[in-house]
Every structure is written in structure tokens, then in C-alpha cells.
Amino acid sequence: RLDEALDHAESAVSAGESSEALVVLARVRVARGDSEEALALTDRAIAAAEEAIPGLYLVRGNALTRLQRFEEAEASLRREIERYPGDAKAYVRLSSLLARRGRGGEVRPLLSILVRSNPSAPAYAAAIQTLASIGDEESARALLRQAQETLPDAARLARLLNQSPPG
């Protein structure tokens, strides 16, 4: 499937170098493990973009993380969050990066920002699963209690927590 995605993304870029097509191609390159090429594609997308592109700095952050350029990855993920504060993916990736870098104490406050800016079952599920995945079970349970008290559809949250991995 990645080969098919790569073919389609390369065709889209060849047809006309839109920033969106470059981001899609970069995402496929990251998934295939070609982070250097993905990073170059995000550079091209940034140069060509006339307006913000959802996911651009997320893909860039993923590529930079794989290249072990952690400070740049963090900055890129934070930029994605600034541009799209309700999208859980960048929060999850940044949380994982912070935890791996020994900065787990920054994760709960970061995920609290996510659920304040996007108080939905999917956002709560992503935050709870992320906390659990980094070993902060106490914060995960506390956030689950908060979600159950806050969300009108707690059953949807339960379904999401039982079926989807973070990010």
C-alpha cells in the first residue's frame, strides 16, 4: 500500500507542484523511512505555500524526530499546534518526544491544552491513551474522570479508548 501511495503522491507532485501534494508525498516518505527526502519535501512545501497547510509541520516534526534532530522536531510540532490547536496528532507526537527526552512532566500540561481547545471524545481519548503509553497511569485516570464528567457522550469515549491507539 505504501508503494501505491508513493506512486499517487509522486504523480500529484509531477502534475503540478502544489504544497499539499508535497506534504502528502513527504508523509509517505516518512512512512517508508526516507526522512531526509521527506524533510526536503517539507522545505519545498514551506517555500511554495501561500497559506498554512494542515499537517505540514507535523510531517516535518516526524521526519526531524527520525533524524534525531529533536530540538528542531519539537519546534516544528509546536508550530503545528499553534496553527491547528484542536488537532490531536501533533500533541500526541510532541508528548511522545518529550517523554522520550526525559521531559514527561511537560506532557500532562500539554495534553490539558489539547482537551481545552478540543473538548471532544477523540481528543480526550488521544490524551488519555498518550498518558497511559508513557506510563502516567495516574494522570490518564484523572483525565478519564474529567472526560466522563465533561463529555455528554461518555459511551463514545469508551468505544474510542477500546479500539484506537494514540496519534
- HSE (CB half, 13 Å, CA atoms) of 150? 15
In tens, the pLDDT along 83-129 reads 999 999 999 999 999 999 999 999 999 999 999 999 999 999 999 99
The mean per-residue pLDDT over the stretch 54-80 comes to: 97
pLDDT of residue 15: 64
3-class SS string, 112-130: HHHHHHCCCHHHHHHHHHH
Q: Please, what is the average pLDDT of the chain?
A: 89
Distance CA 128, CA 148 (A): 12
Q: Band of the pLDDT at 164, cuts 50, 70, 90?
A: low
> Out of 3-17, 36-50, 88-102, 147-161, which region has the weakest mean confidence (pLDDT)?
3-17
At 50, phi and psi to the nearest 5? -95, -20
- Report DSSP state, residue 14: H
pLDDT of residue 103: 97
Q: Which residue has the cell 519539537?
A: 74
In the chain, % of residues over pLDDT 70? 87
Stated length of the chain: 167
- HSE (CB half, 13 Å, CA atoms) of 149? 6
